[in-house]
Chain A
């Protein structure tokens, strides 16, 4: 998992109250989502823009709709 953490990155957040650790996202997008321990979901909140298709599939795969992805490309820190 290599976070870019700057303009151009995707923006992802998972509602970890809602997440049930089903790991479907991890099968679909193993480079961006991973289970650590029994059920801690670790994910990259700022994947490279080229990964959009994969992340969108992970969003769809999550049975509890816990994953949110910003639709628009990131415009950097500029207000």
Chain B
């Protein structure tokens, strides 16, 4: 088959793909531009899915993202990329067509980690929440009035879903192997506040709970979860909120540093080949990218948050248009928000590796506070529960590598008490049940 004409191809038509394509046009790129998307939809926004869409305040298809620049792009939606040939500079799509590229932006994001089929993942009534179609299906199932909803995994999406379901008056149990909700993100010191919110909202939180398998009825519908201790939990609707797997399956044979943990990039967002060299014509951005973060000693991270997708995509696009001698490193302060139980939660920085935490504004008891995380005497992250206006000052302190606890005039505490943030010692291994890693496509 003769390849179609080259230009820039963006694979992944969601937040990073869209904002990257816009930045290419804004940066003066005038050549052919193609966006390839596995989903049949134009780019849409995911954060509302686990919040206002589940709660019924927004329709799933109301979340289409504004397109902020005239893209003059060819859209190849509903057909996933299935293979990359770096030597030929082509991408093959599921429909058999082949797209040639001069430069490629990988923005395939991540997928919800599914529950494995061998332990009941195929039963009807088990849901994951990543895309707009997932949200619509789940919303329909919720409206039907399930009797026992079980959410497995008390991460951000699990907790947001629990909050929405309680607003809908549905009975909810939230099970997680950790002692507190959001333990991976915030540690148990702060996670305990969310445990209190769950309790007050009438949800049942089951800490230290390992779900082993799901069992179904004769019709193949889930009826209960089997736990590691042998006991069972009744459930006619399950939300498996087990985190995400980066969508790198289509890169499997491309000889890149790609695996379910992400596509490794250099500081300039260029994908690394298996031998470690940076590919001059392949860039990555958003949830799929694993990159060395300068602010944290160049540690490799995937930052699976909205703000990173926007900023990294623009940065990658800028470097794609710049010469080899003008490749700027991506320096980003990670940040995200969540809303649950009526609280606006915002984090700046990365909490991983924190050895201390201190409340510098407000109190955990009031559920309005600002907490700073420290590692080896340095402030590394700041977390706000309904105290957003203080956050920018602390973001500045983190960027500046300020001492922990940071001395800012703003504190309203008589004295700043340091506490153990309560991260589990082996955060990687102690998370939600880990089924085998799955590849897309």
Would you call A3 and B62 a contact (CB within 8 A)?
yes
Would you call A16 and B70 a contact (CB within 8 A)?
no
Contact of B64 among A1, A38, A46 (CB under 8 A): A46
Quote the shortest CB–CB distance from A19 to chain B (angstroms): 8
Q: In the assembled complex, which residues on chain B have CB atoms less than 8 Å from the CB atom of A72?
A: 67, 70
A5-B344 contact, Cβ under 8 Å, with A11-B65, A12-B66, A79-B77 = no
Contact of A39 among B42, B75, B388 (CB under 8 A): B388
Residue B299 CB within 8 A of the other chain: no
Q: In the assembled complex, which residues on chain A have CB atoms less than 8 Å from the CB atom of B66?
A: 11-13, 68-70
Q: In the assembled complex, which residues on chain B have CB atoms less than 8 Å from the CB atom of A39?
A: 344, 386, 388
A17-B386 contact, Cβ under 8 Å, with A5-B61, A46-B62, A77-B42 = no
Would you call A68 and B68 a contact (CB within 8 A)?
yes
> Which residue on B lies nearest to A47, using beta carbons?
B62
Q: Which residues of chain A from 34 to 56 have a CB within 8 Å of any chain B CB?
A: 36-40, 42, 44-46
Residue A65 CB within 8 A of the other chain: no
Quote the shortest CB–CB distance from B387 to chain A (angstroms): 8
Q: In the assembled complex, which residues on chain B have CB atoms less than 8 Å from the CB atom of A3?
A: 58-59, 62
A16-B67 contact, Cβ under 8 Å, with A3-B59, A44-B62, A77-B41 = no
Residue B439 CB within 8 A of the other chain: no
Say which size band chain B's interface belongs to. Answer: 35 or more
Would you call A5 and B67 a contact (CB within 8 A)?
no
Complex Cα gap A17–B76 (Å): 31
CB within 8 Å: A-B pair count: 90
Complex Cα gap A35–B195 (Å): 24
Q: In the assembled complex, which residues on chain A have CB atoms less than 8 Å from the CB atom of B77?
A: 79
Complex Cα gap A7–B59 (Å): 14
Complex Cα gap A38–B339 (Å): 11
Would you call B346 and A17 a contact (CB within 8 A)?
yes
Q: In the assembled complex, which residues on chain B have CB atoms less than 8 Å from the CB atom of A69?
A: 66
Complex Cα gap A17–B344 (Å): 11
Residue B335 CB within 8 A of the other chain: yes
Residue B321 CB within 8 A of the other chain: no
Q: In the assembled complex, which residues on chain A have CB atoms less than 8 Å from the CB atom of B226?
A: none
Would you call B388 and A11 a contact (CB within 8 A)?
no
Residue A21 CB within 8 A of the other chain: yes
Residue B342 CB within 8 A of the other chain: yes
Complex Cα gap A4–B346 (Å): 29
Complex Cα gap A19–B392 (Å): 11
Say which size band chain A's interface belongs to. Answer: 20 to 34
Would you call A38 and B41 a contact (CB within 8 A)?
no
Would you call A40 and B65 a contact (CB within 8 A)?
no
Stretch at the interface among B44-52, B84-92, B105-113, B351-359: B44-52
Would you call B48 and A21 a contact (CB within 8 A)?
no
> Which residue on B lies nearest to A12, using beta carbons?
B66
Residue-wise interface mask of B (299-319) relative to A, using a CB-CB cutoff of 8 A (1 in contact, 0 not): 000000011001000000000
Complex Cα gap A79–B55 (Å): 29
> Which residue on A lies nearest to B368, using beta carbons?
A38
> Which residue on A lies nearest to B75, using beta carbons?
A79
Would you call A70 and B68 a contact (CB within 8 A)?
yes
Would you call A37 and B58 a contact (CB within 8 A)?
no
Residue in B66, B343, B388 with the greatest tally of chain A CB atoms within 10 Å = B66
Would you call A45 and B41 a contact (CB within 8 A)?
no
> Which residue on A lies nearest to B70, using beta carbons?
A72
Would you call A38 and B62 a contact (CB within 8 A)?
no
Quote the shortest CB–CB distance from B220 to chain A (angstroms): 32
A40-B342 contact, Cβ under 8 Å, with A21-B388, A72-B67 = yes
Complex Cα gap A27–B20 (Å): 33
Contact of B344 among A6, A9, A40 (CB under 8 A): A40
Q: In the assembled complex, which residues on chain A have CB atoms less than 8 Å from the CB atom of B189?
A: none
Q: In the assembled complex, which residues on chain B have CB atoms less than 8 Å from the CB atom of A4?
A: 62
Would you call A15 and B62 a contact (CB within 8 A)?
no
> Which residue on A lies nearest to B389, using beta carbons?
A20
Q: In the assembled complex, which residues on chain A have CB atoms less than 8 Å from the CB atom of B29?
A: none
Residue in A6, A36, A37, A79 with the greatest tally of chain B CB atoms within 10 Å = A79
Question: What are 20 contact pairs spanning A and B, CB under 8 A?
Answer: A5-B60, A5-B64, A11-B64, A13-B66, A16-B47, A17-B306, A17-B337, A20-B388, A37-B339, A37-B342, A39-B386, A40-B342, A40-B344, A45-B48, A68-B66, A68-B68, A77-B40, A77-B42, A79-B42, A79-B75
Residues of A within 8 A of B (CB): 1, 3-6, 9, 11-13, 15-17, 19-21, 36-40, 42, 44-46, 68-72, 74, 77, 79
Listed from nearest, the 10 A-B pairs whose CB atoms lie closest are: A70-B66, A5-B62, A79-B75, A11-B66, A37-B342, A3-B62, A46-B62, A5-B59, A39-B344, A38-B386
